[in-house]
Amino acid sequence: MKFNITLVATLLATYILVPLLLGGDSYVMSLIIASLIIGGIALSWALLGNLGGMVSFGHAAFFGVGAYTSAVLTMQYNVPVFIGLVLGGVGAVLSAILMLPVLRLRGPYFALAILAYAHIFRIVATEWTSVTNGAGGIASIPSLPTVFGYEFSSRTGNYLVILTMVLLFAWIYDIIRRSPHGLALRAMHDSEDATRVVGVNNTLLKGLMLLVSAFMCGAVGAFNAHYINFLEPDYAFSALWVTIPIVAAIFGGYRTITGPLIGAVVVYLVDQLFIKNIMPTGHQMILGVVLVVMIIASPDGLLGLLRKFMRKKDAAA
């Protein structure tokens, strides 16, 4: 019951209080939207790392493919924007299918192979000028539509859409983690050979996690394209769509569901609102220092640190 009350209070705060208190401040709302975009990528990365046991340096591939898929379909084929968001995720899944052969690789070899795919897709987007307009980019990408008189293209509308997407992905993550497949995936971390002996198809489960992770990241990329209304290869497949979400996921606690989301909001907002004002150039170096300190102080991330603090407080009481 306590959990349900906490969940309801959190949902009320995010859906009602944030737009009510901050909806009039376009700058702060844009920062919150950007932090949720990073949170969505961080969540998809954490799902692959925590359940799939695979560290990826190439999520920019899914982000970029999802963005281009939705942008092209809505502009050239008049696909409704909200359907375009879903198809952006589907496009990322199709790109992930091309990556399935690298599942036989382990550790850094898998991470580097996925990174190579991201570079390949960036080159394709640059050279396929008849569809993507190459390095010139795509401008005037349709914004989110007006539905029943409500403009989702507004700052508050965009916030509500990305918030709903991220929470939906977190719910899907939780369902998978609690399922028998999630139990098998966690057991694989201790011994893949043991799970294989009892009949678990490790490669199939890892492949499914890669596809789910790709869909989440691709849908977030599609949303971002319709949010900023512009797209070009170096931006869509930028390494920043990998590094900052990884920092956020590890900082918040990538083995939890809420950790990557909290980490993204905290890391991005602190960086943009405080650190950037103090150190305009090279301010992202501070993120690296903070990450190292967090790993040393609490390998389980911010949520792990808070749990330790609460246990000590309860013990002292």
Taking 80 as the threshold, does the pLDDT of residue 64 lie above it? yes
CATH architecture of the domain with range 2-316: Orthogonal Bundle (1.10)
Specify the pLDDT at position 133. 93
Under 8 Å CB-to-CB from 90, ≥6 apart: which residues? 69, 215, 218
Across 179-190, average pLDDT: 76
Please state the length of the chain.
Answer: 317
DSSP designation for 179 = S
Specify the pLDDT at position 1. 38
Mean pLDDT computed over every residue of the chain:
88
State the Cα–Cα distance between residues 213 and 254, nearest whole angstrom: 14
Beta-bridged to residue 147, according to DSSP, are 150
Specify the pLDDT at position 286. 77
Q: What is the pLDDT of residues 9-50, one digit of tens each?
A: 888 889 999 999 998 899 999 999 999 999 999 999 999 988
Q: Out of 113-127, 146-160, 271-285, which region has the weakest mean confidence (pLDDT)?
A: 271-285
Q: What is the pLDDT of residues 196-212, one digit of tens each?
A: 655 667 778 889 999 99
pTM for this entry: 0.91
**Residue scoring higher pLDDT (187 or 64):** 64
In this structure, is the dihedral angle defined by the CA atoms of residues 68, 73, 76 and 78, taken in order, positive or negative?
negative
Taking 50 as the threshold, does the pLDDT of residue 80 lie above it? yes
Q: Out of 46-60, 129-143, 268-282, which region has the weakest mean confidence (pLDDT)?
A: 268-282
Identity at 225, one-letter amino acid code: A
Taking 70 as the threshold, does the pLDDT of residue 269 lie above it? yes
Given a contact cutoff of 8 angstroms between Cβ atoms, the answer to whether 64 and 50 are in contact is: no
Proportion of the chain above pLDDT 70, given as a percent: 91
Q: What residues does each domain of the chain span? A: 2-316
Specify the pLDDT at position 2. 45
Contacts of residues 156-161 at CB distance under 8 Å and 24 or more positions apart, as own/partner, are: 156/19, 156/23, 156/29, 158/33, 158/227, 159/18, 159/19, 159/29, 159/32, 159/33, 159/36, 160/15, 160/19, 161/223
Taking 90 as the threshold, does the pLDDT of residue 131 lie above it? yes
Residue that is written with structure tokens 């013990």 in the block: 315
Q: What is the pLDDT of residues 221-250, one digit of tens each?
A: 999 999 999 999 999 999 889 888 988 998
